[in-house]
Homo-oligomer: A and B are copies of this chain.
């Protein structure tokens, strides 16, 4: 009887590790672009995994445009560009998408009234017992879901529009139509791993990295109008900001350039995913 113990790390977990390891090396430039990668058997030995696992990792890198697989020749590192993603400035995502001629759509997952969490109540400056209208939407560009949006609106504003309105009209437009004088917002940007439900809604894997944005929107009087918690697939969507070097006192500092509609970055090439190149226009929510 052999005493070989059960492997501690499952095969999918190993494939993830190998994929992330190779991706790190490509993105950090350790594996030079255009270089031929080691062969699948060599990579399998190096990482102590099966060739099937190596193949899975390389295929995922190829899907993301980080390597190119040339049949009969091998796998080659590509430039570390992420040209397939939607690139927008920090503020006008959907205006920007519509201007780019992308077909966007929304799937309303839930709509209802509830008690806010203390964080939401505090951020929106709600009184005790004040309810919020809570909605969960998935945003779709050219057929591909790329963002998951949870919004909270004070009930007194939320009752001015219906579930049907939210399926067809940007939330901010609904808020302004209801008379809210939207004046300012504070955005916080982070990252998180997808849980199983959000992963499924976004067509990605549990544990995948997502870009997160929390936005607290206020009116002219400083009263809370909307609290947004948004998650984005970073392979499909990135934020962009242009900065200027300016003098403040004796020190040089970065300042945000007044945003204009931004295009793709200078190094953008053809989109990787043909599903994302539609040209129809469609009314959009947020």
Q: A residues engaging B (CB < 8 A)?
A: 6, 8-10, 12-13, 16-17, 20-21, 23-25, 27-29, 32-34, 79-82, 85, 87, 90-92, 95, 114-120, 122-123, 134, 136, 150, 152, 172, 176, 182-198, 206-212, 229, 232, 234, 238-245, 251-259, 265-267
Verify B28–A82 contact, CB threshold 8 A: no
Q: List 17 interface pairs A-B (beta carbons < 8 Å), by A numbering.
A: A17-B196, A23-B195, A29-B152, A34-B118, A80-B229, A91-B243, A122-B267, A184-B243, A184-B244, A184-B257, A185-B254, A186-B240, A187-B241, A189-B241, A191-B232, A192-B209, A207-B207
Contact of A193 among B34, B114, B176, B209 (CB under 8 A): B209
Number of copies: 2
Verify A188–B240 contact, CB threshold 8 A: yes
Verify B117–A185 contact, CB threshold 8 A: no
Chain B residues in 8 Å Cβ range of A29: 114, 116-117, 120, 134, 150, 152
Summarize A's interface: helix, strand, loop or mixed.
mixed
Rounded to whole angstroms, the CA-CA distance of A160 and B42 in the bound complex is 40
Verify A33–B85 contact, CB threshold 8 A: no
Contact of A115 among B20, B32, B241 (CB under 8 A): B32
Chain B residues in 8 Å Cβ range of A193: 16, 20, 193, 207-209
Chain B residues in 8 Å Cβ range of A115: 32
A143 to chain B, nearest CB (A): 21
Chain B residues in 8 Å Cβ range of A123: 266-267
Rounded to whole angstroms, the CA-CA distance of A144 and B25 in the bound complex is 24
Rounded to whole angstroms, the CA-CA distance of A27 and B230 in the bound complex is 11
A238-B206 CB under 8 A given contacts A195-B24, A254-B92 = no
Rounded to whole angstroms, the CA-CA distance of A3 and B189 in the bound complex is 48
